[in-house]
Amino acid sequence: MALSKKMCAAINSQITAENESAYIYKAMGYKFEAMNLTVFAKWFHIQAAEEQAHAEKFARYILDRGSEVTLETIKAPKGKWKTPKEICSETLKHEEYITERINKLVDLAREERDHSTDSFLIWFVNEQIEEEASAAELLAMVELAGTLPQIFLLEDRLLRMIGEREQQPAE
């Protein structure tokens, strides 16, 4: 069964939201590079690549359902962050916003009794649990560290976390 026009438009708009997330995380990565916090930067660049993979997953799904992908305009990131804490707290807020969007997609799929889309979206529902948890962990670490020299020392721990993540099997 083909996707409804409404469902297709909603998923297309989620592709934009995922690409926008990638764009925001790239901007955050560059900001961390400017602060010489290169491991934080790496974390955000990896995060950006994951968001692009999410966009791709949604695009593949639309194509698999015999509909068409429409790419929309991506907003420029505001990028006025001054501290690591500001970046990390915006990241958590952004992930909560994405979770809210995914939940609305599930609501729509259920309204339309579109079980295929409902089932497809479960992966994202679960992914958002992880995304929020890792954003919350990063913010907690930065808050705990407090000052910039302490945040600099956090980079070692973050590097180990990146290593552990990379060892996990790919989805």
Nearest approach in angstroms of CB 142 to Fe ion is 18
Say how many C-beta atoms besides its own lie within 10 A of residue 28's C-beta. Answer: 27
Nearest approach in angstroms of CB 95 to Fe ion is 5
Contact 158, 39 (CB under 8 A): yes
Closer CB to Fe ion, 60 or 150, in the complex: 60
- The Cβ-side half-sphere exposure at 115, using a 13 Å CA radius, reads 0
Nearest approach in angstroms of CB 134 to Fe ion is 9
Closer CB to Fe ion, 18 or 114, in the complex: 18
Closer CB to Fe ion, 123 or 143, in the complex: 123
Q: What span, in angstroms and rounded, lies between the C-alpha atoms of 32 and 50?
A: 18
Nearest approach in angstroms of CB 51 to Fe ion is 5
Closer CB to Fe ion, 9 or 129, in the complex: 129
Sequence-separated (6 or more) residues with CB below 8 Å from residue 46: 162, 165
List of residues contacting Fe ion (CB under 5 A): 18, 51, 54, 131
